[in-house]
Copies of this chain bind each other. A is one copy, B any other.
């Protein structure tokens, strides 16, 4: 799977700062925005902007993060994974259609547990060959692609464009960066975070993206993976 951040809200820190500041100030947003960008005086320092964002996130005033959007190219994720992904409803997806696009070569995801087991891998690859063959034959027989695709397995690769705002990304990462998340969707959001981290002006935002245990201060799952102590150890008994 290849994940690339292809587009994002320019000047994201300035944008979120302008939104947050508008709530608590008599100054209009256009003027705050101008000072945040350093286009008018007194300019607002990056330190001050980051410090407001820190407080905003700590206090749970998350809606100001919605003004920052990220658009990702996601290539080669399995249809199993894309079916999970699009269940996150506060985001926009444009996905390669199996109704219109014909299957090409080498278009399958092999799970690590299967890749690492010779016998399983042989079964899997033989099966993939039979799936491709069945698909080709059905298309040759004149079955429409939208029906021939019924033989395509969950392993089939798909491509998506996904736009998600930073508030939702913050929420989704709490669940999907958890070591207990299903491996492929976890890999997807690990890569999403890495893409954001790579860009200097976004790097500070990437640091907010954490599994829920880091944000809560404890692991709320029945068994902790060990990264953080479990809730009962920290809070004690009771709910």
Residues of B within 8 A of A204 (CB): none
Interface residues of A in 16-31 (CB under 8 A from B): 18-20, 22-26, 28-30
Residues of B within 8 A of A235 (CB): 217-218, 234
- A114 beta carbon closer than 8 Å to chain B: yes
- Interface SS, A side: mixed
Interface size band for A:
35 or more
Tell whether, in the assembled complex, residue A22 and residue B159 are in contact, meaning their CB atoms are under 8 Å apart: yes
Give how many copies assemble into the complex. 4
- A35 beta carbon closer than 8 Å to chain B: no
Tell whether, in the assembled complex, residue B182 and residue A146 are in contact, meaning their CB atoms are under 8 Å apart: yes
CB-contact partner of A153 in B23, B113, B150, under 8 A: B150
A94-B67, A120-B141, A141-B120 as given contacts; A159 in contact with B7, CB under 8 Å: no
Tell whether, in the assembled complex, residue A150 and residue B71 are in contact, meaning their CB atoms are under 8 Å apart: no
Across the two chains, which residue of chain B brings its CB closest to A149? B154
Residues of B within 8 A of A152 (CB): 153-154
User: Nearest-CB distance from A173 to chain B (Å)?
Assistant: 14
CB-contact partner of A94 in B19, B71, B89, under 8 A: B19
Tell whether, in the assembled complex, residue A79 and residue B75 are in contact, meaning their CB atoms are under 8 Å apart: no
Determine which residue in A141, A149, A217 has the highest number of CB atoms from chain B within 10 A of its CB, and name it.
Answer: A217
- Interface set of A (CB-CB < 8 Å, partner B): 2, 4, 6-7, 9-11, 15, 18-20, 22-26, 28-30, 33, 58-60, 63-64, 66-67, 69, 71, 73-76, 78-80, 82-83, 86-87, 89-90, 92-102, 104, 109-114, 117, 119-120, 123-124, 126-127, 130-131, 134, 137-138, 141-144, 146-147, 149-155, 159-161, 163, 165, 175, 182, 212, 214-218, 220-222, 231, 234-236, 239
